[in-house]
Amino acid sequence: MRLSFPSRRTIAVLLTGASLLALPASAIAQAPAAPPPPSVELTTVNAREVPLRYSYAGRVSAFREVQVRAQVGGILMERAYVEGARVKAGDVLFRVDPKTYEAEVARADAQLQTAQAQLAQATRDKARAVELFARQVGSQKTRDDALSAVDLAEAAVAAAKAQLKAAQINLDYATVRAPIDGVTSLDVVPEGSLIGVGTTDSLLTTISQLDPVYVNFSFTDANAAELRSITDAQKAQSGDAKLTATITFGDGRVYDKPGEIDFTSSSIDVQTGTIRSRAVFPNPDLYLIPGQFVRVTISGMSLASAIVVPEIAVLQGPQGKFVYTVDDKNVAAMAPVTLGQSVEGGWIVTEGLKSGDHVVTSGVIKVRPGAPVAAAKTIVQTAQAN
């Protein structure tokens, strides 16, 4: 009978199994420890008064722009201002050759003197005719003719005065004065030119009034409805809903003088689908230039009770925007939100959150819905506006 002995490999397996049986039961039952909950920072949101600001692209335009035109024709003898300089209303800008108009004034004055002399003669004749008729010496026709002569002489005097006034006006128009305060442009015609009073030969220069100035901008009909509802609510509450405007330049600098909204169109521009509006700004140093592009920010409105969530807390998912909230047991949940306007400190939440909710604002990448979190820091929003 032949005996068989186990191989070396079989012996090694048996020894290994025996060693495992010899290990303590606690060592065999020990499993890998679960990872700790992620550390996050929380912000407790509260309803508070939130100031609102709306920003739009705007363009500066002159408050008034007036074309200075000649009102009488003739040779342009003198330009009495420096091109591009500031002028005051009433300052002399141009002088047209006045000789012809001076002669017209002298002729009209002589006609007036003649008419006045004829009136004096007719008045004396009237007095004699009336006296003779009262003595029954003169005829009634003579008296009536004398009365009519006085009336005609008075009319002639009035006509002569009017003609003298017209001649004096034309003479005054020979000196062209600034109609408004402003800045002059380049002159259109040089000295020595023959100018007229038509639309093609009467333009002399243009004056732009630059203090104050207008800034024109447009906003959407949705913004208009929102602005109207907010301002109506403020008027009902406090009786005042005055909107102010500020200007920001392209390099980020802010104009130091605020303006006011003075015009908003009552209809929508059919070409752009927007509503035109305008603000007026003081410009004593002529810092704002017509044609300049700026950013207009409208303020003076606020929401009495609104929840603002920090921008860093808002995430985008397949179903839309959401935030992570944490309950009293430190368990995270996904809360879909509807956002309104962007304001200082984040976004206004119109739906999805309520006062007292704890929102994850740091460490959101590590958060999973239904999983616990460890709050490393909690920030509580104040109930008052910042």
Q: 184 by DSSP, 3-state: which? A: strand
CA-CA-CA-CA torsion for 357, 361, 365, 370, nearest 10 degrees?
-10
Location of structure tokens 């839309």: 320
Question: What DSSP string runs through 101-165?
Answer: HHHHHHHHHHHHHHHHHHHHHHHHHHHHHHHHHHTT-S-HHHHHHHHHHHHHHHHHHHHHHHHHH
Using CA atoms, how far apart are residues 174 and 236, in angstroms rounded to an integer?
A: 57
Residue 20 clears pLDDT 80, i.e. is over it: no
Neighbours of 353 (CB within 10 A): 19
CA-CA-CA-CA torsion for 201, 205, 209, 210, nearest 10 degrees?
130
Confidence band for 382, pLDDT divided at 50, 70 and 90: low
Give me the mean pLDDT over the 301-311 stretch: 86
Q: What is the pTM of this model?
A: 0.66
Using CA atoms, how far apart are residues 176 and 69, in angstroms rounded to an integer?
A: 8
Question: 133-153 pLDDT, tens per residue?
Answer: 888 888 889 889 999 999 999
Q: Are 298 and 243 in contact (CB under 8 A)?
A: yes
Using CA atoms, how far apart are residues 316 and 314, in angstroms rounded to an integer?
A: 7
**Homologous superfamily of domain range 53-62+212-302:** Efflux pump adaptor protein, beta barrel domain (2.40.30.170)
CA angle 276, 282, 287 (to 5 degrees): 100
Among the listed ranges 109-123, 126-140, 226-240, which one has the minimum average pLDDT value? Answer: 226-240
Give me the mean pLDDT over the 321-344 stretch: 91
Strand order in the sheet with 175-177: 175-177, 92-96, 74-79, 194-195
Among the listed ranges 81-95, 169-183, 367-381, which one has the minimum average pLDDT value? Answer: 367-381
Domain ranges of the chain: 39-50+306-380, 53-62+212-302, 100-166
Give me the mean pLDDT over the 315-330 stretch: 91
Give the distance from CA 9 to its chain's centroid. Answer: 92
Give me the mean pLDDT over the 322-348 stretch: 90
Give me the mean pLDDT over the 36-55 stretch: 88
Q: For position 385, what pLDDT does the model report?
A: 41
Neighbours of 342 (CB within 10 A): 13
Confidence band for 13, pLDDT divided at 50, 70 and 90: very low
Residue 368 clears pLDDT 60, i.e. is over it: yes
Using CA atoms, how far apart are residues 170 and 309, in angstroms rounded to an integer?
A: 71
Residue 156 clears pLDDT 90, i.e. is over it: yes
Confidence band for 224, pLDDT divided at 50, 70 and 90: confident
Give me the mean pLDDT over the 280-292 stretch: 92
| Architecture of the domain made up of 100-166 | Orthogonal Bundle (1.10)
39-50+306-380 CATH choice from 3.40.50.920, 3.10.129.10, 2.40.420.20, 3.40.50.2020: 2.40.420.20
Question: What DSSP string runs through 26-90?
Answer: HHHH--PPPPPPPEEEEEE---EEEEEEEEEEEEEEEEEEEEEE-SS-EEEEEE-S-TT-EE-TT
Q: 239 by DSSP, 3-state: which? A: coil
Give me the mean pLDDT over the 208-226 stretch: 86
The mean of the pLDDT values for the chain is: 85
Confidence band for 84, pLDDT divided at 50, 70 and 90: confident
Residue 327 clears pLDDT 50, i.e. is over it: yes
Residue 12 clears pLDDT 50, i.e. is over it: no
